[in-house]
A and B are shown apart, each in its own frame.
Chain A
Amino acid sequence: MRALVLLIALSTPAAADIAEAVQGQILPGYAAFQAAADRLAATGKACDIKAVQADYQATYDAWMAVQHIHIGPTEEDGRALAVLYWPDPKALGAKAQRALMTGDPAKLAPDAFAQQSVAARGLLGLERLIYPAEPLPADPCPLIAATTADLSRVAGEIATLWGPQAQLLLTAGDPGNGAYLSRAEARQALFTQLATGLENLTDQRIGRPLGTFEAPHPDRAEARASGRSLRNVTLALQAMRAFTASLTPDAPQTLAAFDVAIAQAEALNDPVFAGVADPAARLKVEILQRSIAHIRELAISEVAPEMDVGIGFNAADGD
């Protein structure tokens, strides 16, 4: 009897975490992203810029709910990059788009466009067309239609291919599952998405515009032209908070730290991190960055042991 109780105690939490994260977070997230991208493609075809802008914002919002997931079909064939290519320090995307706007229209046909550089496609490719910083060299409408149709295609592929990917995660450790040799491996993969996603916020989404005190780079913020830099951080925090709650019911410190950072982000009146060049405003961005780094520390000390996983042994090594 005691052995049975112990067995149940050992097996129950493990069963909940993978299923809740996959079925409660990831799959609905990709379905919502696909629905948003489909609407965007319809609007993109008509090329009413105001309407495209609204659906672009909604699609970007939907992506931020799942952008921390980088496994399986999301990562294969460059799909995540084809949705969001950022950062692009050498402005490869803008250069490629100028060539596409003034070049052979055959390159905008769906199959040909899918072969174009990921830097020229995706949400930020679209942003450059519908929130142009400088006049565009030609009518952007054909490229807007091609870009939004391509986004919808990629979103559909991700949502569809996540069916079998979800099965792999849910049947981790079963005979014949070559992707995840144990349930611990699947939990490890999910936890890694959280740890890496938080690191991406501190190092990239906030770290790039922050630069150093001597050399801040407000121009490097993500999605500046559409005013989404801070919003993306806030949405990512909210999504990763929900993701964390799905991974373990018992992470009070980590969830509280998320709440602190989300409140700071919501109170930060600096939508594109323009303040990083101003000492007083910069401090608030730095505080947010530190709060997110703190979430990650807590996730490693609190969530990881709850899930019986750690940070990858070799991934953390660097040699």
Chain B
Amino acid sequence: MQTSRRLFLAGLGALALPKPSWADAGSPAWLAAAKEGEDYRLHGLSETGESLFALPLPTRGHAAAAHPTRPLAVAFARRPGTFALVIDCVTGAQTHRLTPPPGRQFNGHGAFSADGATLYTSEVVAEGSEGRVGLWETAGFARIGEWQTGGIGPHDMKLLPDGRLIVANGGIATDPKDRTKLNIATMRPNLSVLSQGKVVAQAELPDLPQASIRHLALVPEGVAFAMQWEGDPAEVVPLLGQWSLGAAPVLCPAPEGEAGRMKGYAGSIARAADGRLAISSPKGGAVQVFAADGGFVATYARADVCGLAPLGAGFVTSDGNGGLCTLDTELRPLAKLDAAWDNHMVAL
């Protein structure tokens, strides 16, 4: 009885005051940060590459997280980040500004819980770069706690379908002020699955400890991960791997003549609707596509390309020259804006 009354009241409330949805923000397909002249903005982009809204950011952004239902985006500063902005994508208003607690720094990525009630932020303890997940409630965006990530220098994090959180602990300790890398000789990145603040599963790459695991894309059995190589640049190593939870991670090498085109660096990763995986390298001006089973498909050239997201059967890319391109079996220009697109496109 009580339950149904509550439902009834909730239903009545919804009728009286419809909550804004992503449709009210123009139903953007992606969020992407950009530099325009000397200004930084967060754009909502349509599938045709049109900018539906552009909201100001105080400094350089990196990635963003989108609320699952409300038209709210959280834009994260480039690490070491001192802010994350909660933006109402309908009105363009900044509704909250998140500041990490003393001694903590944002690391550029974050994720909402499936019900949208909690925001998780990727953070480090400034001294030593030990990883933390910051927890924020999303009614007033107050800090409600933090978890250990089970590693050093976490970067990307994704919510698994079961609600657990998977974190890419990149393994790199950095100077709190200037991004200088401090532990390249001893770094040990890992992937950690967190459940209610406990590390319940972890994977390492024992043969490639200097491959920093930084960016993630969910796949049906677990996660695909993109790496940046911190070892000898003359050594050409795989930059893509897949981790089926419960098994050992599997690396996906590109053929000898192709592998070097990425210059030891993958800056973004995305999974297409058909299961193909793409990784991007702005340093190499290249995107590499792999089949769902990890087999290499092809390399596509595009200068300063980094942002990647799924589109149709394939992908969309964004680059520092302002280009947005579609990529299925070839790379084709979709739109060009007078903006330098930053590292990531976040699919909504």
Binding site for B on A (CB under 8 A): 71-72, 75-79, 81-82, 87-90, 117-119, 178-179, 181-182, 184-185, 188-189, 192, 203-204, 208, 312-315, 317-319
What residue in chain B is nearest A203 (Cβ atoms)? B233
B256–A318 touching, CB < 8 Å: no
Listed by A's residue number, 11 A-B pairs whose Cβ atoms lie within 8 Å are: A72-B301, A76-B299, A89-B235, A119-B256, A182-B321, A204-B233, A312-B282, A313-B341, A314-B305, A315-B285, A317-B306
* Chain A hits for B261, CB < 8 A: 75
What residue in chain A is nearest B332 (Cβ atoms)? A178
* Chain A hits for B255, CB < 8 A: 78
**CB contact between A185 and one of B62, B78, B228, B321 (< 8 Å): that residue:** B321
Query: How far does the alpha carbon of A82 sit from the alpha carbon of B258 in the complex, in Å?
Result: 11
B260–A81 touching, CB < 8 Å: yes
* Chain A hits for B299, CB < 8 A: 76
* Chain B hits for A88, CB < 8 A: 234
Known contacts A118-B256, A178-B331; decide if A319 and B343 are in contact (CB<8 Å).
yes
Asked if B319 CB lies within 8 Å of chain A CBs, one says yes
* Chain A hits for B256, CB < 8 A: 78, 81, 117-119
**CB contact between A77 and one of B108, B155, B257, B331 (< 8 Å): that residue:** B257
Query: How far does the alpha carbon of A78 sit from the alpha carbon of B235 in the complex, in Å?
Result: 15
Binding site for A on B (CB under 8 A): 35, 62, 78-79, 108, 155, 214, 228, 232-235, 255-258, 260-261, 265, 267, 282-283, 285, 299, 301, 303-306, 319-321, 323, 331-333, 336, 340-343
**Distance (whole angstroms) from the CB of A260 to the closest CB of chain B:** 27
A314–B267 touching, CB < 8 Å: yes
* Chain A hits for B303, CB < 8 A: 185, 188-189, 192, 312
A314–B304 touching, CB < 8 Å: yes
* Chain A hits for B108, CB < 8 A: 319
Known contacts A178-B331, A181-B321, A182-B336; decide if A317 and B257 are in contact (CB<8 Å).
no
**CB contact between B257 and one of A87, A90, A118, A315 (< 8 Å): that residue:** A118
Q: Chain A CB within 10 Å — which of B214, B321, B342 has the most?
A: B321
**Distance (whole angstroms) from the CB of B267 to the closest CB of chain A:** 6
**Distance (whole angstroms) from the CB of B298 to the closest CB of chain A:** 10
B343–A314 touching, CB < 8 Å: yes
**Distance (whole angstroms) from the CB of A173 to the closest CB of chain B:** 10
Query: How far does the alpha carbon of A182 sit from the alpha carbon of B333 in the complex, in Å?
Result: 11
Known contacts A178-B332, A181-B333; decide if A314 and B306 are in contact (CB<8 Å).
yes
A313–B258 touching, CB < 8 Å: no
Known contacts A77-B257, A312-B320; decide if A181 and B336 are in contact (CB<8 Å).
yes
How many residue pairs at the A-B interface have CB separations less than 8 Å?
Answer: 98
Query: How far does the alpha carbon of A204 sit from the alpha carbon of B264 in the complex, in Å?
Result: 15
A75–B301 touching, CB < 8 Å: yes
* Chain B hits for A89, CB < 8 A: 232, 234-235
Known contacts A313-B340, A314-B320; decide if A81 and B257 are in contact (CB<8 Å).
yes
B282–A87 touching, CB < 8 Å: no
**CB contact between B282 and one of A77, A184, A317 (< 8 Å): that residue:** A317
What residue in chain B is nearest A180 (Cβ atoms)? B303
B78–A178 touching, CB < 8 Å: no
The 6 closest A-B pairs by CB, nearest first: A78-B257, A313-B320, A314-B282, A312-B304, A314-B306, A313-B340
Q: Chain B CB within 10 Å — which of A81, A88, A119, A181 has the most?
A: A181
* Chain B hits for A72, CB < 8 A: 301
B333–A178 touching, CB < 8 Å: yes
**Distance (whole angstroms) from the CB of B289 to the closest CB of chain A:** 15
What residue in chain A is nearest B299 (Cβ atoms)? A76
Query: How far does the alpha carbon of A315 sit from the alpha carbon of B262 in the complex, in Å?
Result: 11
What residue in chain A is nearest B236 (Cβ atoms)? A81
**CB contact between B320 and one of A79, A90, A181, A315 (< 8 Å): that residue:** A315
Query: How far does the alpha carbon of A178 sit from the alpha carbon of B333 in the complex, in Å?
Result: 6
Query: How far does the alpha carbon of A181 sit from the alpha carbon of B324 in the complex, in Å?
Result: 10
A82–B257 touching, CB < 8 Å: yes
* Chain A hits for B155, CB < 8 A: 319
* Chain B hits for A313, CB < 8 A: 35, 282, 304, 320, 340-342
* Chain B hits for A119, CB < 8 A: 256
**Distance (whole angstroms) from the CB of B284 to the closest CB of chain A:** 8
* Chain B hits for A178, CB < 8 A: 331-333
Known contacts A312-B282, A314-B304, A314-B320; decide if A319 and B257 are in contact (CB<8 Å).
no
B283–A315 touching, CB < 8 Å: yes
* Chain A hits for B336, CB < 8 A: 181-182
* Chain A hits for B258, CB < 8 A: 78
**Distance (whole angstroms) from the CB of A224 to the closest CB of chain B:** 15
Query: How far does the alpha carbon of A211 sit from the alpha carbon of B301 in the complex, in Å?
Result: 32
Query: How far does the alpha carbon of A118 sit from the alpha carbon of B260 in the complex, in Å?
Result: 11
